[in-house]
Amino acid sequence: MDLNGLIVGLGNPGPKYRGTRHNAGFMTVQLLLEEVERGNGRSPESLSGSRFNALLWRIQIPGGGTWLVAMPQTFMNLSGDAVQPLMAWYRLQPDQLLVIHDELDLEPGRLKLKKGGSAAGHNGIKSIQQRLGTPDFYRLRIGVGKPENRDQVIPWVLGHFAEPERDVMEKTLPNAVDAVIRFAVDGPERAINVVNTRKK
């Protein structure tokens, strides 16, 4: 299978967590799959991801090649347990990996694309870094803001977007999908230049 790489959206599985801040990665992947279906006129190819504990698809991005898309079903803290076996099985390198995740240190509506760096307390990223043995993969960070009290971080990320945030995120997630497609078509460096200089 000739692959350009792996796109992973992070989140927690199950209806309880649907639409929560921590599931921004899942939400972006779902929109990406819909966009690809519209663009190609057919549904993304669903693959069996049971051995990796992930939902898995193969997609064609026009002008951007063939990509695997995954939503780990391990719960956030063990995301690396899904990602690392996927990378190994398909013989992908860290610089072929794009992880989409929520980011407390960015205000809602802000997107940042980067390679490497600290996990900054994000347990999903920490798990992937530990399992891969490197932080040198690409990350699309989706701002979800943070609570005034740091003791409230867990209920914050596991909580649903409030009304003003919900409106912002409805506009932000399509931009996140555009960033992913740009990453695939134009390459990481050009995508970073565009995404990180775009106004909110």
Q: Which three-class secondary structure string do you get for 144-184?
A: CCCCCCHHHHHHHHCCECCHHHHHHHHHHHHHHHHHHHHHH
CB 83 within 8 A of CB 132: yes
Spatial contact of 55 and 71, defined as CB atoms under 8 Å apart: yes
Mean pLDDT, residues 10-21 taken together: 94
- Tokens encoding 80: 């690396």
Report the pLDDT value the prediction gives residue 155, as an integer from 0 to 100.
87
Instruction: Name the active-site residue from 22, 101, 122, 160.
Output: 22
Average pLDDT over every residue of 32-54: 92
- Judge whether 22 counts as a catalytic residue: yes
Q: How far apart are the first and last CA of the chain?
A: 38
Domains of the chain, residue spans:
5-197
Report residue 125 as tokens: 């990223």
What integer pLDDT is reported at residue 199 of this predicted model? 66
Q: Which residues, at least 6 apart from 2, have a Cβ–Cβ distance to it below 8 Å?
A: 66
pLDDT, averaged across the chain: 94
3 state SS of 66? strand
Q: How far apart are CA 107 and CA 142, in angstroms?
A: 9
**Maximal C-alpha separation, the chain:** 48
pLDDT at 147: 85
Q: State pLDDT tens for residues 152-199.
A: 888 889 898 888 888 999 999 999 999 999 999 999 999 999 999 876
- pLDDT-derived band at 95 (thresholds 50, 70, 90) equals very high
Share of the chain above pLDDT 70, in %: 98
State pTM to two decimals.
Answer: 0.95
For 113, half-sphere exposure in the C-beta direction (CA atoms, 13 angstrom radius) is 24
**Sign of the torsion angle spanned by Cα atoms 153, 84, 95, 32:** negative
% helix, strand, coil for the chain, step of 5: 45, 20, 30
Predicted pLDDT of residue 39: 86
Residue 73, classed as helix, strand or coil, is: coil
Mean pLDDT of 32-56: 93
Average pLDDT over residues 138-148: 92
Residue, of 40 and 116, whose pLDDT is higher: 116
| Mean pLDDT value across residues 63-84 | 97
The helix/strand/coil state of 131 is helix
One CATH from 3.40.47.10, 1.10.760.10, 3.40.50.1470, 3.40.30.10 for 5-197: 3.40.50.1470
**Cα 170 to Cα 180: distance, rounded to the nearest angstrom:** 16
CA separation for the pair 108, 111 (Å, rounded): 9
Buried b (16+ CB within 10 A) or exposed e, 186-197: eebeebbeebee
- For residue 149, pLDDT over 90 is answered with no
pLDDT band at 200 (very low <50, low <70, confident <90, very high): low
Average confidence (pLDDT) over 114-122: 93
> Quick check: 71 pLDDT over 90?
yes
